[in-house]
Amino acid sequence: MPAYTPTQVGAYLRVPVGTIRAWTSGVEYPGSPSRRPFRPIVKPDDAQGRLLSFKNLVELHVLAALRRQHRIKLDSVRRAIEYLAPLSKRPLADLDLLADKSSVLVDRYGQLVSASESGQSVMREVMKDYLARVDRAPSGQPGRFFPFVLRPELPLAEQPRFIEINPKRAFGRPCVAGVAVPTAEIAERFVAGDAMSDIAEDFQISLALVEEAIRFEQRTIAA
Share of the chain above pLDDT 70, in %: 90
**H or E element that contains 164:** strand 163-164
Mean pLDDT of 160-181: 91
Mean pLDDT of 136-158: 85
pLDDT tens, residue by residue, 51-108: 999 999 999 999 999 988 888 889 999 999 998 988 889 999 998 887 876 788 777 6
Query: Cβ neighbours of residue 37 under 8 Å, at least 6 residues apart?
Result: 26, 27, 28, 29
Q: What is the DSSP letter of 154?
A: S
pLDDT at residue number 120: 61
Higher pLDDT, 218 or 4: 4
pLDDT at residue number 222: 56
| Strand-pair partners of 95 | none
Contact call for residues 214 and 189 (beta carbons, < 8 A): no
Quick check: 170 pLDDT over 90?
no
From residue 152, alpha-carbon distances to 134, 155, 158, 166, 194 in Å are 21, 8, 11, 25, 28
- The average confidence (pLDDT) of the chain is 86
pLDDT at residue number 125: 66
pLDDT tens, residue by residue, 184-199: 999 999 999 999 999 9
pLDDT tens, residue by residue, 109-131: 556 678 887 656 555 666 788 88
Spatial distance between the Cα atoms of 173 and 115, rounded to a whole number of angstroms: 33
At residue 39's C-alpha, the angle toward residues 4 and 57, to 5°, is 25
pLDDT at residue number 183: 95
Task: Give residue 12's region: left, alpha or beta (phi > 0; psi -120 to 50).
Answer: alpha
Query: Can you give the residue ranges of every domain in the chain?
Result: 146-223
User: Domain 146-223, what fold?
Assistant: Arc Repressor Mutant, subunit A (1.10.10)
Mean pLDDT of 135-154: 85
Mean pLDDT of 31-41: 81
